[in-house]
Every structure is written in C-alpha cells, then in structure tokens.
Amino acid sequence: MKLTKDMNILIVGLGLLGGSYAKALTKKGYRVTAITRSQSSIDFAMEDGMITAGAASVDPALVGEADLIVFALYPHIFLDWVKEHQDLFKPGAVITDVTGVKGCIVSEIQSILRPDVEFIAAHPMAGREVSGVKNSDDSIFRGANYVVTPSERNTPDAIELCEDLGNVLGFARVSRLSPDDHDEIIAFVSQLTHCIAVSLMTCQQTEHLEDYTGDSFRDLTRIARLNDEMWSELFLLNKEALLKQMNLFQRELDRLKIMIEDDDAEGMREMMRYSTARRALFDKKPN
C-alpha cells in the first residue's frame, strides 16, 4: 500500500519533528492536519500553511477521518493517548510514531490496540538541538536514515505504507529492523553518544574553558544540549541495552588508557588507523 494524496494524514504532537513531517508532506501535495496541546502551535502551522486544519484538543472529527496518524509525542504520552482515545480511530486506520525506542512501545501499543487499526513503528533518525514547531525544517531528513521496525503482528501493506512515508519525507535511506535489533543499535549510535556528550559537558567545572576550545569539543558536545524529559525517559526505556553499550565503550576507553600509560605508540597507532578507516563508512550519503 502506497501513501496516496486522497489519504487524510493526521500529526499528533506538533513539535520540531511533527512540524517537519507536516511541512514535508504538505510541500509534496499531501493533506495534513494536526492535533497538539498548544493553540499557538496550531495557529503558527495554519499561518505557515503546513496543515489544512488543526485543533488544540482531541478533536473526534480530525481523528475519525484520518487514514494515517503519526504520533510525535513522548513515549508515555503516546501510550496514554492511544489507551484513552482509540475508540475515535477510523476502522482500517494505520498509526505510526517517531519514538526513539521500540521494543517496549511496539509490544505495548500492539497488545492494547483495536484489532481493526494497525500500529507500525518507525524511527526517523533526524533532529535538531532546538525544539518547537517554529523550528521545524524538512531539510533535516535529507541524507538521513529512517528505520521501520515491524513486529510479527504487522501486515505487508502497513509496512509498505510506512516505508513509503519515509521515502516521501525525503530520507536518504529507509531500512527495516526488528524492534529489539533497533533498540540495541540505537543504544549504541544514539543513546551512548548522548551519555558521552552530557558527561563530557558536566565532568569539568573549569571557568572560561570556551576561550580555549576547538571544533572537536564543540562537535562532541553539540548534543549535550538536550530535552531532559525525553532523553531520561528514552534511557530508562532502553536501560539494559544502553548499559551494555556503555560498558563496551568504557572497556575500549580503558584499553586506550592502558596503551597511553604503557607508552604503547604502535598499539595506539593501530587503533587510530582502524578508527580512521572505519569512520569513512559513516559519512552522510547523498540522497
């Protein structure tokens, strides 16, 4: 099943990511509406032309006519929302999300969801260090990865629809992982990196360090500016996988520390050559 222009697409949660979805979809001619808590966000989105209608409360008409609903909410709010309002969903509707952790969300939502509505989870790996619909920007999807995480409960139709959404949004690569594999990888490439950035930012209180800082420190701490409510929730939802990756990283840093202690220049150089070669794989791919 492909995304088509006669479908009604509803975004629930119009922040940076929800707004960027709305922008990208509207630009391509899709019909997009939104529900979010703040009336000023709806007003902004209407004036900007990124949605055709919106409400600052759970509007039964908007929910009931939506063929595809994208939930761009904190994980626990998403879960509560579905519990409370799922009777409003249109029969046959497909719902998806943007949550950064999948294992628990996919099974929890799928186990409580009405049988005539399907939840297919996705993780758009794009963001900015600012938030809010006013900062939304559909160019963040360019060159980025979009991962769909189906479970055995999902149908080929919904999986295809969700993958098509990723393509329409403009992601460079759309791929598929099981929810558990996703969480293991995300613990490494996203959560561990945020743990490192935060720890680097808070381990030293020396004043005026910024006068002696180069790009390397700025790069490693860009993501140390983060939404504490969301990230603390994501860390705890993926606790086991994250702790495993933190331990793996700490062992490797210990290995390097021992080389430095032992004046093992050749060992360090070998590690650096491997690091240099492996890093080349990770450059952003052109769309």
Site for a second copy in 179-238 (CB under 8 A): 182, 185-186, 188-190, 192-204, 206, 209-226, 228-229, 231-233, 235-236
**At 136, which helix (H) or strand (E)?**
none
Nearest to 127 by CA among 115, 136, 118, 116: 136
The answer to whether residue 162 forms part of the interface with a second copy (CB under 8 A) is: no
Using the contact rule CB under 8 A, the part of the chain among 78-86, 109-117, 157-165, 266-274 near a second copy is: 266-274
Taking the least distance from each CB to a second copy, the nearer of 112 and 253 is 253
3-state DSSP assignment of residue 264 = coil
Show the tokens assigned to 205. 């209180």
256 contact partners, CB below 8 Å, separation of at least 6: 268, 271
Taking the least distance from each CB to a second copy, the nearer of 38 and 199 is 199
Other beta carbons within 10 Å of 127: 18
Show the tokens assigned to 12. 């629930």
Q: What is the nearest approach in angstroms of a second copy to the Cβ of residue 159?
A: 17
Q: Which of 102, 265, 286, 287 binds a second copy (CB under 8 A)?
A: 265
CB of 74 closer than 8 Å to CB of 15: no
Site string for a second copy, 122-141 (x = CB under 8 A): ---xxx--------------
At 220, which amino acid appears? L
CB of 224 closer than 8 Å to CB of 198: yes
**At 237, which helix (H) or strand (E)?**
helix 228-237
Q: What is the nearest approach in angstroms of a second copy to the Cβ of residue 251?
A: 7
Nearest to 200 by CA among 175, 219, 179: 219
Q: What is the nearest approach in angstroms of a second copy to the Cβ of residue 208?
A: 9
The answer to whether residue 147 forms part of the interface with a second copy (CB under 8 A) is: yes
Q: What backbone phi and psi angles, to 5 degrees, belong to 96?
A: -135, 180
Q: What is the nearest approach in angstroms of a second copy to the Cβ of residue 76?
A: 11
The answer to whether residue 260 forms part of the interface with a second copy (CB under 8 A) is: yes
Taking the least distance from each CB to a second copy, the nearer of 113 and 185 is 185
Q: What is the nearest approach in angstroms of a second copy to the Cβ of residue 247?
A: 8
The answer to whether residue 47 forms part of the interface with a second copy (CB under 8 A) is: no
Q: Find how far residue 73's CA is from the centre of its chain.
A: 10
The answer to whether residue 268 forms part of the interface with a second copy (CB under 8 A) is: yes
Q: Which of 61, 112, 130, 243 binds a second copy (CB under 8 A)?
A: 243
Taking the least distance from each CB to a second copy, the nearer of 5 and 257 is 257
